[in-house]
Amino acid sequence: MALVTPETTRWVAAATALVFVLASVSFVVPASGSVSPVPFDDTVKTGGTSVDVRTAEVEGFEVPLAQVHFSRYRYIIGYYGVTTAAADVSTAESARQFGDPLAVFVTDYATVSPTLDDDGYLRTEHNRNPGWTKASEASFVVDSGARVPSGPIAVPFSDADAARSFADAHGGEVVDWATLRDRAGDPLSSRLAAFESSVAAHHEWANQTTVASDALFDRPVSTVVGEDAPTVEAAVASAPANTTVYVPAGTYSVDAVELNRSVTLLGAGSDTRLVGDGNGSVVHLRADQSAVGNLSVSGVGEVGTRRVRASNESVDWDTRVELAYGRGDAGIVLDGANESAVRGVEIDTPASGIIARESADGVIDGVTVRGADEPSDGFMGVVLIGERSVVQDSTFLGGRDGVYTHRADGSVIRDNHMEDGRYGVHQMYTSDALVADNVVRGDRIGVVLMTRPVGNLVVGNDVRESDFGFMPAGSDTYVADNVFAGNDYGMDVSGDRQVYVGNVVAGNGVGVRGSSTFPTNVVVRNDIVGNDVRVESSLGPMRTWTVGGEGNYWGDLPLEDANRDGVYDRAYQPSGVVDAELGREPGALALSESPAVRALRRARDAVSGLRGSGVVDAAPRTEPVRPETLAALNATEETDD
């Protein structure tokens, strides 16, 4: 028998009191009445992919929509893609989260003369907006030529003849709502496949861009500093386009080196030292396909940010940010220098290391930036503004942020090491970027996404010994296969339509903070173990972190798996006052299985008014998703001890 200490007795007594207080709450039964469709903008949106939604907004084609009015949820759930809605409304997780569907409405293309363009995208005559029809009364054309970027779509019609006419013109067959629901696949699988395809595409673009930059460092040498020209500035000024200026080992005092043509400035390694006068940026790349490599830079000015003057207070936000973050001093500045590269450069700077302004398809590779010891005294390792670039295999020590981006959509930031700064990767207004396989140690936040971006990919990063491992905003973020360990907070689940899968969240003060208002995020197949607090969640409704009968691993819980299917036999609430202590307090298991708590769990599942905030996992795993990673973390802890 487990030892019951006075502390345990007090905890059990307090928890029991709370249970009976909760059990005394009056049951809330949702009122019934007529249900009508609402504007899609008024729904809580889920489903689909960011590529589909954003491309449709830009190009003006149609994404069929659905909206579902549930019996136990005050908000209306809007789905991008009627197939997604068909797959979701029948699941056990949906029933637990929202209740039964009172009504499902889908967009109606019967009266707007739909057709397909050359890409197979659905368009309406004169761009007319479709209305709504009940899904149960609609006919759906499936397996036609209609598609969105991520794949085929079902097209709904209120009139069966209109559906058959569309199928005759564009292929496919006509089915009803019940058949569509029976045929609908796993919506998570399709989303994961789309995300993984996007990760692969980003890596492929980065690989191709990096390989293309190799040619910049193979140019013939036209000028050698000290032999053909007395100074670095003179050598660069005299060098023909598409040649290399070679700078032998030594220390060179420079004012400002300006690369105004497509030339490469190449040193002999870190023993080639360019030293500025401490009053501004040291090297400027102002031409396409220019490059700097194999040298060190110091003597950078101390101005990290140039604030907007009072007379210019009316400038727009982008201009304000560019002036503040993109016009400070740096070791190297790329200004409108497309397809340029910085490789193998070491920079010591009190301000920024590298600033790339409106310089598309650049490569920053194998650089080391040593910033200020105190983050508040320095600035950014790399700043990307306005265009995408690759930042890879680099080291950022100290300073404010390792890599900062502003509207640098599509950038790839991979295989870097960030240490002792404010933020490792800091994205502002940047969507569709890949942040992969970076290592962050001792920062305030490892990876932070701000200002409602869409479609970012945060994959395979390792953040430890920081205040916060990961903090997102926006929607459609793919957060996969990361390690957040030994931080004050592991990861934050916020925004909407985010997908968290395969992450290891271990040994943090708080494992996961659930701060999203709406329950449209997917959190599944993660290992969330050994945290002082498993889940901290006090905002929004109760959220179900289970999809398709798959949940997360919360450690070795004292629960039963009678059929040995790898899933505990009852749901687990890691944010609950009782369940949170399972495996920690001797009295927690007995209390969790008491008649009062069992009755409360049944009532919570049936009545939305008893749910409150928090997180429930309907299918908690008995075994970890990534046992090798957990074993390596444990081995590291034992070595440190």
61 and 152 share a domain? yes
Torsion 119-121-124-126 (CA) sign: negative
248 and 395 share a domain? yes
- Domain assignment present for residue 400? The answer is yes
Give the residue-averaged pLDDT of 28-47. 75
d(CA 322, CA 285): 17
471 and 488 share a domain? no
530 and 563 share a domain? yes
Q: How large a percentage of the chain has pLDDT more than 90?
A: 68
- Domain assignment present for residue 568? The answer is yes
pLDDT in tens, 68-92: 998 877 789 999 999 989 988 877 7
pLDDT score at 26: 33
Q: How large a percentage of the chain has pLDDT more than 70?
A: 89
Secondary structure of residue 604 in the 3-state scheme: helix
602 and 509 share a domain? yes
Task: Judge whether 348 and 332 are in contact, CB under 8 Å.
Answer: no
How far from 598 is each of 72, 153, 509, 583, 594, CA to CA, in Å? 21, 43, 29, 18, 6
pLDDT score at 117: 96
Instruction: Extract the tokens encoding 412.
Output: 């790839």
Last residue of a domain, one of 442, 459, 475: 475
d(CA 62, CA 149): 11
290 and 159 share a domain? no
pLDDT in tens, 264-281: 999 999 999 999 999 999
111 and 255 share a domain? no
242: Cβ contacts below 8 Å, ≥ 6 apart: 219, 262, 263
pLDDT in tens, 517-561: 667 889 999 999 999 999 998 766 778 899 888 999 999 999 999
Direct distance between the N- and C-terminal alpha carbons of the chain, in angstroms, rounded to an integer: 31
**Domain range holding 403?**
242-308+330-475
- Quick one: residue 420, left, alpha or beta (phi over 0 = left, psi -120 to 50 = alpha)? left
Q: With 80 as the cut, is the pLDDT of residue 42 above it? A: yes
pLDDT in tens, 476-489: 899 999 999 999 99
Instruction: Extract the tokens encoding 263.
Output: 């030339």
569 and 421 share a domain? no
User: pTM for the whole thing?
Assistant: 0.85
pLDDT score at 600: 62
pLDDT score at 483: 98
d(CA 98, CA 74): 9
Strands (E), 232-381: 244-247, 250-253, 257-259, 264-267, 272-275, 283-285, 291-298, 330-335, 341-348, 352-357, 362-365, 368-370
**Is residue 308 very low, low, confident or very high in pLDDT (cuts 50, 70, 90)?**
low
pLDDT score at 311: 46
442 and 520 share a domain? no
Give the closest residue to 452 by CA, choosing from 435, 428, 433, 487: 428
Using CB atoms within 10 Å of the CB of residue 146, give its burial: 0 to 12 exposed, 13 to 18 middle, 19+ buried.
buried
Overall number of domains in the chain:
3
439 and 528 share a domain? no
171 and 267 share a domain? no
Residue 140 corresponds to which amino acid?
F
Quickly list H helices, 484-626. 588-592, 595-606
Count how many Cα atoms sit within 13 Å of the Cα of residue 381 in the half-sphere of its side chain: 33
Least confident of 167-176, 373-382, 451-460, 512-521: 512-521
259 and 154 share a domain? no
- Domain assignment present for residue 30? The answer is no
Greater confidence, 235 or 538?
Answer: 235
pLDDT score at 612: 60
Give the residue-averaged pLDDT of 135-147. 96
pLDDT score at 19: 44
Give the residue-averaged pLDDT of 590-605. 67
Q: What angle do CA 207, 208, 212 make, to 5 degrees?
A: 120
For all residues of the chain together, what is the average pLDDT? 89
d(CA 217, CA 371): 27
Q: With 80 as the cut, is the pLDDT of residue 8 above it? A: no
pLDDT score at 310: 47
Torsion 539-540-542-547 (CA) sign: negative
Greater confidence, 566 or 17?
Answer: 566
